[in-house]
Structure 1
Amino acid sequence: MSDTLWWQHGIVYQIYPRSFQDSNGDGIGDLEGIRRRLDHLVWLGVDAVWISPIFPSPMADFGYDIADYCGVDPIFGTIDDFDRLLAEAHARGLKVILDFVPNHTSDRHPWFLESRASRDSAYRDWYIWRDPGPGGGPPNNWLANFGGSGWEYDEATGQYYFHSFLKEQPDLNWRNPAVRQAMYDALRFWLDRGVDGFRVDVIWLLVKDEEFRDNPPNPAWEPHHASINQLLQVYSADRPETLEVVEEMRAVLDEYDGRVLIGEIYLPLERLMAYYGRDMKGAHLPFNFQLIFAAWNAVQIARIVAEYEAALPPGGWPNWVLGNHDQKRIASRVGPGGARLAAMLLLTLRGTPTLYYGDELGLENVTIPPDRAQDPWERNEPGLGLGRDPARTPMPWNAGRNGGFTTGEPWLPLNDDHAARNVAALSADPASLLHLYRRLIALRRDHAALSTGDYVGVEVEGEVLAFERRQAGARLLVALNFGQAPARLPLPQDAPGAELLLSTHPGREAAPVPAELQLGPEEGVVLALRPG
């Protein structure tokens, strides 16, 4: 794989730090906890760890409201703890990616405290301030992602400031060159320490319409949907100038060798592709979330893969995501059998896969009692099922108290079956989903066709999705039966012989395969094709 970059042939593993491992008994995961569990990542076989925000924060949105971009919140440890984690990760061959949140700060960030102190403040234009609209209300109809108006009135200065999320998260004014310079300097602070890249939060929201025009209504909105979707975010998101900012961020990373820029982008396919930038000078990996929202059947998955592959610009490297800290757990969306199939799909498609902690165990969404709900979105819009706590629960490591996550009271409850569904128990079971992930990752590393090879054809036979990965004469066939009944799939006529390399069904041994492949319900296989 010497002809590809580490983030092209590698696998990214996301850690939500509050929930990975607590080292001091306060019930909240921390950097020292992550350091102690690095060997799990090495055993699993991943290449990079992406850590959700660890910066100083009042925790109104659990670290996505940053009060200092160049430090570590005491909840998670110290800057020395981070340096030690980084050094030990690198010693194990693991890259470290940080979560960068440039759209907004905390309302307790020194920049904002100074900004709201006076209309004449040198920092006033670092944020988005506007006079009241006609009648004294908000300047326009823009909404916040967590419910309600996106505008908050400041009594002292008589103006409104804009916040795309909570009122405690004022948006920065990315049209101000001083803001850009300060944020790029923050990137360099971490790059100089040896960080290998950044996942950039809500990167498509950075620049807002210069004329502050009202967003148009969304004719498809229904009352049981999130209130943000009442309007089409035409003027408060994905403005043309945003791409210029992304290219400037990329230029900062290009000052250093081998760093990666990943963008969180929830946009339609044609707009997503724009974030690769002109001449591939934007985000290396604009996150591709299509599988998260896909109907779980062969026809729809085939369509999504084909359209994504066709839309990629020349030189654009693909990537795939099936779970993260904002979405329902894979196993809750597709069931236990579907979770095994999903693992094979994610790790055999062309491009960089991102795994979410706990998905390798088949964790499902955990029911959170109302009195233990932490997520501000759930509290602001209750009853709509928008809360993200169920997918952020602590990692169960063993059958001990609190799954070995903490000696204290965990900040969120663990999965009810943690005594059986934990790392120690599943690592001892060769038939477990955890071992399937490990074997798939090893297979991907052993066969370059899976990690960096070409993607050839998507075809659907009933409920079976099949595609090939090819490189340097090697041909691997991936066949995934999304149905609940057994299925058959003829092998390609130019390669009627095959060897089974791996099945999602435990107990199916590697063996020669005749001209027709037999698949069990919800079974996926990887075959090495042999010419006739």
Structure 2
Amino acid sequence: MNRASEQEALPAGRKWWHVSTVYQIYPRSFCDSNGDGIGDIAGITSKLGYLKSLGIDLIWLSPIYRSPMDDNGYDISDYQDIAPEFGTLADFDHLVVEARRRGIGIMLDLVVNHTSDEHPWFLESRKGPGNPFRDFYIWRRPGPDGGPPNDLMSSFGGPAWTLDPLSGEYYLHLFSRRQPDLNWENPAVRREIYKMMNWWLERGIAGFRMDVIDYIGKQVDQGLVKDGPRLHEYLQEMNRRTFGRHDILTVGECWSATPGSALLYSGRDRSELSMVFQFEHVTQQWDEIYGKWRPKAFDLVKLKSVLSKWQYALSEDGWNSLFWGNHDLPRAVSQYGDAAGYHSQSAKMLATVLHLMKGTPFIYQGEEIGMTNVPFTTIDQYRDIETLNMHRLHVEAGLSPEDFIKGANQSARDNARTPMQWNAAAHGGFTKGVPWIEVNPNYATVNAEAAMTDERSIWNHYRKLIALRKTHPVIVYGLYQSWLDQHPDAFVYSRALDRDRLVVIANFAPHKVQLTLPRELANPGTCLIWNYEPVDTLGENVDLKPYEAFAILCEMRE
């Protein structure tokens, strides 16, 4: 997607993706065009009109490359081909053209920390130390006891080393054993990766989302997995040799990111990435022992502290990504709102809070209609390799199966991967066949068709927020300031640019809340968005209904 002509008209430091909204699609679960129960590229193309109506600017596709699907596509066996269940390269090229015709770019998920064990590089690498592809991966001899060379653990459970009987050595896999890690210290690996990236760029894509990119600088002999000493050297080299010559959006998934390291990734003079996904607001709710499988009670004060910290840290340089959910996280309205009692109000409140911050908003498919976590009751209903592995390990460690399912219903990745709910027909209109994973049973009432015909729907609320970003510079570039930081129920912040001040007020509680605002926020203005009724004048005392949220644009006093 060539944005050069648009970029030339922007002031220095301003980018086209600052005013954009990104929509993430999990292809397997979005829309099935051929009835095999699996979403596909043709299905995505058929829904471009829906996405154009919503107003989004880019589509981020979770991996569509050829893959044995051990980790649903994040195990790639051919970087330059499409998984047959998703379609063909011709289907992808058609999607790019049709999306561009509607002013929408396509962003690919780039997985270069590891490949599938069926990738030709790894098949060659297994042939032994003399093979030219041996050093494409990370091999080590057994430890003194004949076991793994060190105690590194996989993120999916168990050791991060698997013994290869063909060569008698262990290979590293920081995720599934079928996802061997690439050796980024080998220049030949980097050359092949850059060649592949340029091949996709020449096909007209608008960006890359980079999976676990903070892992590529690992130093395994020192037990260092994330943020290795050569990480930023590799990213700068990648920038020079690939996307740095194109005006595209690049986002790094960085679970280890801090405000300081985010500036290394995304500082305007760093020549690395556009922004990172950081997850501090996610992990602060995890249990110290069981992690996300036994989440802590929601704490708004902590959430506000994290979000505000990142707003302040990247206020002058770098750029924030704004998101509640993605393919790895629970549904936003189930995690932070009230899916049962105040479904519509809390979903709109969450959207208001997120989209009016400084940064680029990301919408995960179905979030715009308020899709919820799925009420599975048995482990057999889950499909995700992480959940299945963790179930086995946690039950072996003494956690009851019932407690694990309870935690999985809150935090498992399959909550986000149930099929998109298009209408009230069988399987939510996702497929005419048998879906690869069960559809959430609430599809009869929570679906896109119903939402698009209701002026007060969650979908129309998202549509308004996306449009506001394009018409009010204060939303894009305004200075962020938080207020009432210790209030346990309310989130209040302002954005200021020139003489404009936007005041955002949200109640995160299922009960009424009374606020006393600082005097400088009390002003008449224009209510840009609301989820109950418009509030055009702010007094020092504000009464909020359950999950009420609104934003008022005021003129700042002298």
- Letter of the 1:377 partner, please give it: E
Give, in whole Å, the separation in 2 of the partners of 1:117 and 1:299. Answer: 55
500, 514, 518: which is aligned to 2:527?
A: 500
User: What secondary structure, in the 3-state scheme, does the structure 1 residue paired with 2:82 have?
Assistant: coil
What is the aligned partner in structure 1 of residue 507 from structure 2? 481
**Separation in structure 2 between the aligned mates of residue 181 and residue 313 of structure 1, nearest angstrom:** 35
C-alpha distance in 1 between matches for 2:247 and 2:303: 32
Q: Which residue of 1 aligns with 2:237?
A: 248
Residue of structure 1 in register with 2:455 after alignment: 430
Question: 1:23 maps to what in 2?
Answer: 33
Correspondences of 1:198-237 after superposition (within 5 Å): 198-209=208-219, 212-213=221-222, 215=223, 235-237=224-226
Secondary structure of the corresponding residue to residue 42 of structure 1: helix
Give yes or no for the alignment of 1:325 onto 2:327. Answer: yes
Shift of 1:294: 5.1
Give the secondary-structure state (helix, strand or coil) at the position aligned to 1:70: strand
Structure 1 residues 464-479: aligned runs within 5 Å: 464-479=490-505
Contact 1:146 1:377 in 2 (8 A): yes
User: Do the aligned residues in 1 keep the contact of 2:137 with 2:183 (CA within 8 Å)?
Assistant: yes
1:281 alignment partner, one of 252, 262, 271: 271
Matched, 1:79 2:105: no
Supply the AA of the counterpart residue of 1:329.
Answer: R
Quick one: distance in 2 between partners of 1:66 and 1:357?
23
Report the Cα distance in structure 2 between the residues aligned to 1:431 and 1:90, rounded to whole angstroms. 30
Q: Give 1:352's aligned residue.
A: 360
Shift of 1:297: 4.8
- Which residue does the alignment assign to 1:267? 256
Cα offset for 1:349?
0.5
Aligned equivalents of 1:93 and 1:200: distance in 2? Answer: 23
Q: Which residue of 2 aligns with 1:223?
A: none
- The one-letter amino acid of 1:370's match is I
Structure 2 portions without partners, runs of 5+: 1-8, 286-297, 392-400
Per the alignment, do residues 314 and 527 of structure 1 end up closer, same or farther by CA in structure 2, a change over 3 Å counting?
A: closer
In the superposition, relative to structure 1, how do residues 323 and 458 fare at CA in structure 2: closer, same or farther (>3 Å)?
Answer: same
Q: Distance in 1 between matches of 2:514 and 2:130?
A: 71
Say which SS state the counterpart of residue 418 (structure 1) adopts: helix
1:220 counterpart residue number: none
Moved more, 324-333 or 304-313: 304-313
Greater shift in the superposed pair: 78-87 or 277-286: 277-286
Return the match for 1:371 from 371, 380, 403. 380
Alignment of 1:41-80 (within 5 A): 41-80=51-90
Contact 2:201 2:243 in 1 (8 A): no
Provide, for residues 51-105 of structure 1, a one-character-per-residue CA deviation record: whole Å limited to 9, x for no partner.
0000000111110110111111111000000000001111101111000000111
Per the alignment, residue 168 of structure 2 pairs with: 158
Cα drift, residue 345 of structure 1: 1.1
Give me the whole-angstrom Cα distance separating, in 2, the residues matched to 1:375 and 1:514.
Answer: 50
2:252 partner amino acid: G
1-side partners of 2:205 and 2:268: how far apart? 25
Q: 2:485 & 2:113 partners in 1: Cα distance? A: 42
Deviation at 1:366, TM superposition (A): 1.2
In 2, distance between residues paired with 1:490 and 1:123?
Answer: 64
Pick from 39, 50, 57 the counterpart of residue 40 of structure 1: 50
Of 490, 500, 503, which aligns to 2:517?
A: 490
DSSP-derived class of the 1:183 partner: helix
CA contact (8 A) 2:536 2:552 kept: no
SS in 1 for 2:80: coil
2:347 counterpart letter in structure 1 = A
Assess if the C-alpha contact under 8 Å between 2:314 and 2:320 holds in 1.
yes
Which residue of 95, 110, 118 corresponds with 1:100?
110
**In structure 2, C-alpha distance between the alignment counterparts of 1:521 and 1:73, rounded to whole Å:** 46
Q: Distance in 2 between matches of 1:140 and 1:514?
A: 62
Offset at residue 512 of structure 1 (A) = 4.5
Of stretches 301-310 and 423-432 in structure 1, the one that deviates more from structure 2 is 301-310
CA distance in 1, matches of 2:542, 2:525: 9
1:9-28 alpha-carbon deviations (Å, 9 max, x no partner) = 11111100000000000000
Q: Is the partner of 2:444 in helix, strand or coil?
A: coil
Deviation at 1:321, TM superposition (A): 1.6
The whole-number CA distance in structure 2 between the counterparts of 1:258 and 1:348 is 25
Per-residue deviation, 1:277: 6.0
- C-alpha separation in 1, matches of 2:347 and 2:66: 36
Is contact 2:499-2:556 (8 Å) kept? no
Determine the C-alpha separation between the residues in 1 that align with 2:284 and 2:524: 33
| Distance apart, 1:278 and its partner CA | 8.5
Moved more, 179-188 or 422-431: 422-431
Q: CA RMSD in A?
A: 2.1
CA distance in 1, matches of 2:518, 2:312: 25
**Counterpart amino acid of residue 524 in structure 2:** G
Structure 1 distance, partners of 2:371, 2:218, is 38
Counterpart position of 1:525: 550
Larger deviation, residues 279-288 vs 23-32 = 279-288
For 2:540 and 2:252, locate their aligned partners in 1 and report how far apart those are by CA, in whole Å.
43
1:255 is displaced (CA, Å) by 4.3
TM-score if structure 2 supplies the norm length? 0.87
Residue by residue, what CA displacement relative to the aligned partner does 1:255-297 show, whole Å, maximum 9, x if unpaired? 4331121100101524444333693322211113333345655
Structure 1 residue 38, shift from structure 2 partner: 0.9
1:227: which partner in 2? none
| Deviation by residue 1:401-428 (Cα, 9 ceiling, x = unmatched) | 2111111001111111101110001111
- Is residue 82–residue 88 contact of structure 2 (8 Å, CA) maintained in 1? yes
Moved over 6 A (4+): none
State the distance in 2 between where 1:496 and 1:61 align: 52
Are the counterparts in 1 of residues 198 and 243 from structure 2 also a CA contact under 8 Å?
no
State the distance in 2 between where 1:99 and 1:320 align. 17
CA shift for structure 1 position 498? 2.3
2:203 alignment partner in structure 1: 193
Counterpart-to-counterpart distance in 2, 1:96 and 1:313:
27
* Structure 1 residue aligned with 2:135: 125
CA deviation after TM superposition for structure 1 residue 495, in Å: 5.9
1:338 and 2:346 are equivalent in the alignment? yes
Aligned to 2:422: 397
Secondary structure in structure 1 of the residue aligned to 2:553: strand
The letter for the 2-side match of 1:283 is L
Instruction: Give the TM-score normalised by the residue count of structure 1.
Output: 0.91
- Look up the match of 1:91: 101
Q: Is the 8 A contact 2:66 2:73 kept in 1?
A: yes
Structure 1 residue 302, shift from structure 2 partner: 3.0
Q: Which deviates further from its counterpart, 188-197 or 467-476?
A: 467-476
